[in-house]
Amino acid sequence: MFVNLTGKDLTIENDEKKIKLPKEQNVAYCVGKTTSLGYVVINGLYVPVSLINWTVENLPAPQTDVYYIVNNNVAVLASRPDVLSFITKDLRKLNETVVEQFTAYTDNETVFEGVQEISDFVLTNHQYH
């Protein structure tokens, strides 16, 4: 099962078929808390230096056979094999995001073991570098 937490409807397509993945009510997002660390001086110019601690909000706990589709920043921060961001096609349509590929950011080399299906679509083993 794939849960769309991006806040917008997604269209997933290949050369043969196109399906819609509607957005859920809740959106997973990142929140940053900024702490000032002081200043550095570069050629007489004072430049502030800050530390930003990021957290992810509204991302459910992992569940068996459930994959969460989120924006890239959430996927990077979550660093979980069940949390996927997406790569869009160059094609832009009004109120439509066309997904070309899913990406996971995790320490696991293999995100999908075997084959998982999205409707009639098939995702095979996905390796990342």
Residue at token pair 């995001």: 97
Average pLDDT over residues 52-77: 92
Whether 41 has a pLDDT exceeding 70, the answer reads yes
Contact between 10 and 20 under an 8 Å Cβ cutoff? The reply is: yes
Cα-Cα-Cα-Cα dihedral sign, residues 121, 15, 96, 74? positive
How do residues 81-99 score in pLDDT, each as one tens digit?
Answer: 899 987 665 545 545 565 6
Beta sheet of 2-4, edge-to-edge order: 2-4, 67-69, 83-88, 97-104, 10-13, 18-21
Cα separation, 20 vs 87, whole angstroms: 16
Mean pLDDT of the chain: 75
Q: How confident is the model at residue 58 (pLDDT cuts 50, 70, 90)?
A: very high
Whether 67 has a pLDDT exceeding 90, the answer reads yes
Verdict on whether the full-model pTM lies above 0.75: no
Q: Residue 63's pLDDT is what?
A: 95
- What b/e string do you get for 91-120 counting C-beta neighbours within 10 Å, with b at 16 or more? eeeeeebbbeebebbbeeeebbeeebeeee
